[in-house]
Amino acid sequence: METFKRLKQFYWPYRNYFFISLAFLLLVTGITVLYPIILQITIDDVVLRRKYSWIPILALSFVSLMAVKGFATYINQYLGDLFGIISVYKLRNSLYEKLQYLPYRYYDNAKTGDLMSRLTADVEGFRFFLSYGFSELLRFFLLIGISLGVMFYYSASLTLVTILALPFLAIVVYKFDRAVHPAFRGIRKSFGKLNTNVQENISGINTVKSLSREDFEIGKFNRSNNDYKDQYLFTSDIWAKYFPLMEFIGNLSVVLLLSYGGYLVIDDSLKLGELVAFYSLVWYIIWPIVNLGFVINMFSQAKASGERLLEVLDEKQEIAERNHPIVKSSLLGEVEFRNVTLTYSEDDQPALKNISFHARPGKVIGLIGPTGSGKTSLTQLITRFYEPEGGDIYIDGHLITQYSLETLRSNIGFVLQESFLFSSSIKAGISYGNPDATMDQIIDAAKRAQAHEFIMELPNGYDTVLGERGNGLSGGQKQRIAIARAICINPSILVLDDATSAVDMETEFRIQDALIEVMKGRTTFIIAHRISSLKHADEILVLDHGEVVERGTHHELLQSGSYYRRIYDIQYKDREKVLLESK
């Protein structure tokens, strides 16, 4: 029960629903045990003694009990469902909230499909046990306890003979639990992998089709689906082995009951009606024990689900705020790195090594270098997406760890290389980081990003609802929406991570022309592979293998004749030759 104890905070506040539900369950169980007693009275006192005047009273009593039981069953089931549903509502919210604040490092290795499985199938598995499992477990003990009490009242010796086989049944049930729990955990893991395959395939369907890899993807899915099938078949095999054995041992009790009970009736030590009632009561013991396998099934699934949920809830939130962080509505945007080193994992080489630079407010810093040189890593440190192993980062003279995360990130506008747009209206997409933005501010941001014209050509303008991930727009249009979204928050620091890589040269020129006005008064970091995007930067940092190998203005770096100059020659030499020949 350790898993349930650790998740107690989510369901214990709603225990009143659970306990009221159990009170009605007690009533339902008590009425259920009364049925055999009424049957015994009908046989022994009405039929055998011919007291037929009792029939209307017994019939009315029976109908009344059925009505009370029906009402009590309704309350019991409704409150049980309410208990489970409300509990996992809070649990699901906590899981989703935890996922929002987990660090980038967690998502570097996490699988989307597996996380979706935890928030859906695992949460539902845990809910099902809260709603039904606990009450079924208590019903098990109540029904057996009350039934045994009545049976001992009728005949202690017959009761003892009848329950001789039950300890063996308990042993089988215990072994069944030990075998079935790991099997259900395997099913959960396999289902998570299957979800991941489906999610990745749907997200990357364009790549699959463009490279004619449909057969490969089908094969990959079949392997995951086959593993999921095998896990379920393995679990079914466990059920197939244990369930008939449990039922066989239960039926032995019936054989003992009929054998010894029949002898007692013949010997006049037991009434016929009591034997018939005994037969009904013993099934109130046998079936709960046999059905204990189903309860164990629910428990095992809930335990496996709970363990997977705790893995998310227990994940360390590496990026933490101080007790009394600096909270500001705006920053000047002065950024300074002092000997900063970053390593993503112990086995990796450092992504950044002893990086130092000083960006004054309103200045433009260009970052260029080969893929994997650390350009994006550098900008992600400013927002504390990752924490450096060494060195310090300052904004406006304060360590970035002194600021609240909201202050820090709400003052930094990011336009990533791969723009992600939510399924919403264009208006909501642009104002995503600034929900209080007016329509004028939204339109102004769109104009600055050179997006206003194509937005107005859409059927519903700014109210046009985009498809998933911005489907319906070209790559360049999505990029311009992302730029408008960054501008709309009015950031003190602007990061353009290859922001114009998806647009044509003419649109790039127009966006850069517009961004000159946008960047005024803002510290801007431009990550680019095209030198044309960096020519006007106040300082350009050339990175290679996580180190700054060159720095200076565009003209200064051209004079150095090193890495930057080689990039320039590759991008412009042939173009200049064509222009000279055309003249």
* Domains within the chain, CATH numbers bracketed: 2-313 (1.20.1560.10), 325-411+492-501+522-557 (3.40.50.300), 418-490 (3.40.50.300)
Residue 358 corresponds to which tokens in the numbers above? 């000083």
Tokens at 168, concatenated: 């063996």
Q: d(Cα 431, Cα 426) in Å, to the nearest integer?
A: 9
Which two tokens mark 424?
């919403």
- 442 vs 428: CA distance, rounded Å: 9
Helices (DSSP H) in 267-374: which residue ranges? 272-313
* 3-state DSSP assignment of residue 537: coil
> How many Å from the N-terminal Cα to the C-terminal Cα in the chain?
84
Report the sign of the C-alpha dihedral through residues 219, 220, 223, 225, in that order. negative
Nearest-5° Cα angle at 389, 381 to 379:
15
Helix axes 214-266, 272-313, angle to 10 degrees: 150
In sequence order, the 6+-apart residues with CB closer than 8 A to the CB of 377 are: 342, 351, 352, 386, 546
Q: Is the dihedral of CA 301, 307, 308, 310 positive or negative?
A: positive
Length of the chain equals: 583
- DSSP code per residue over 21-90: HHHHHHHHHHHHHHHHHHHHHIIIIIITTT-GGGHHHHHHHHHHHHHHHHHHHHHHHHHHHHHHHHHHHH
Distance CA 40, CA 31 (A): 15
User: What integer pLDDT is reported at residue 578 of this predicted model?
Assistant: 44
b/e per residue, 238-263, with b = 16+ CB within 10 A?
bbeebeeebeebbebbbebbeebbee
Which pLDDT belongs to residue 574? 54
Closest CA to 555 of 525, 529, 519, 531: 531
CA 349 vs CA 216, 380, 545: distances in Å: 33, 17, 9
> Residue 94: CA atoms inside 13 Å, Cβ hemisphere, count?
18
Q: Which residues pair with 435 in a beta bridge?
A: none
d(CA 391, CA 339): 5
Looking at residue 83, its pLDDT comes to 93
Check if the beta carbon of residue 355 is closer than 8 Å to that of residue 382. Answer: no
Count, in order, helices (H) and strands (E) of the chain: 22, 10
The answer to whether residues 425 and 466 touch, using CB atoms and an 8 Å cutoff, is yes
How is residue 465 annotated by DSSP?
B
Give the span between the Cα atoms of 40 and 44, in whole angstroms: 6
Helix extents (H) in 155-213: 156-162, 166-203, 205-210
Q: What are the φ/ψ torsions at residue 435 (nearest 5 degrees)?
A: -60, -20
468-488 in b/e form (b: 16+ CB < 10 A) is: eebeebeebbbbbbbbbbbbb
- Backbone phi, psi, residue 389, to 5°: -80, -30
Tell me, what amino acid is at 76? N
Measured in whole angstroms, the distance separating CA 213 from the mean position of its chain's CA atoms is 29
Identify which of 344, 353, 339 has the alpha carbon closest to the alpha carbon of residue 391. Answer: 339
Question: What distance in Å separates the CA atoms of residue 151 and residue 159, rounded to the nearest whole number?
Answer: 6
Please calculate the CA angle 381-345-110 and round it to the nearest 5 degrees: 85
pLDDT of residue 517: 67
- Spatial separation of the C-alpha atoms in residues 180 and 1, rounded to whole Å: 16
Q: What are the start-end ranges of the H helices in 411-504?
A: 426-430, 439-448, 452-456, 475-488
Taking only Cα atoms into account, the Rg of the chain, rounded to an integer number of angstroms, comes to 36
- Cα gap 228→234, rounded to integer Å: 10
pLDDT by position in tens, the chain (length 583): 788 888 989 999 999 999 999 999 999 988 888 888 888 888 888 877 777 777 888 888 888 988 999 999 999 999 999 999 999 999 999 998 888 888 877 877 777 777 888 888 889 888 988 888 888 888 888 888 888 888 888 888 888 888 887 788 778 877 887 787 788 778 877 887 887 788 777 767 766 776 677 888 888 888 888 888 888 888 888 888 888 888 788 788 888 888 888 888 888 888 888 888 888 888 888 777 767 767 777 888 788 888 889 988 988 877 777 888 999 888 899 999 999 999 887 667 888 999 999 999 989 999 998 888 888 889 989 988 888 988 999 999 999 999 998 888 889 888 877 777 887 888 988 898 888 889 999 998 888 888 888 889 888 899 988 876 666 777 778 888 888 888 888 889 999 887 666 566 676 676 676 677 677 788 999 988 878 778 888 999 999 888 999 999 988 888 876 888 888 887 776 555 544 444 4
Give the number of other Cβ atoms within 10 Å of residue 206's Cβ.
Answer: 8
At 191, list the tokens: 């289902």
C-alpha to C-alpha distance for 444 and 446, rounded to whole angstroms: 5
Report the pLDDT value the prediction gives residue 469, as an integer from 0 to 100. Answer: 64
β-pair partners for 403: 326
Under DSSP, is residue 348 helix (H, G, I), strand (E, B) or coil?
coil
CA–CA gap between residue 371 and residue 369 (Å, rounded)? 7
The Cα 3–Cα 178 span in angstroms is 16
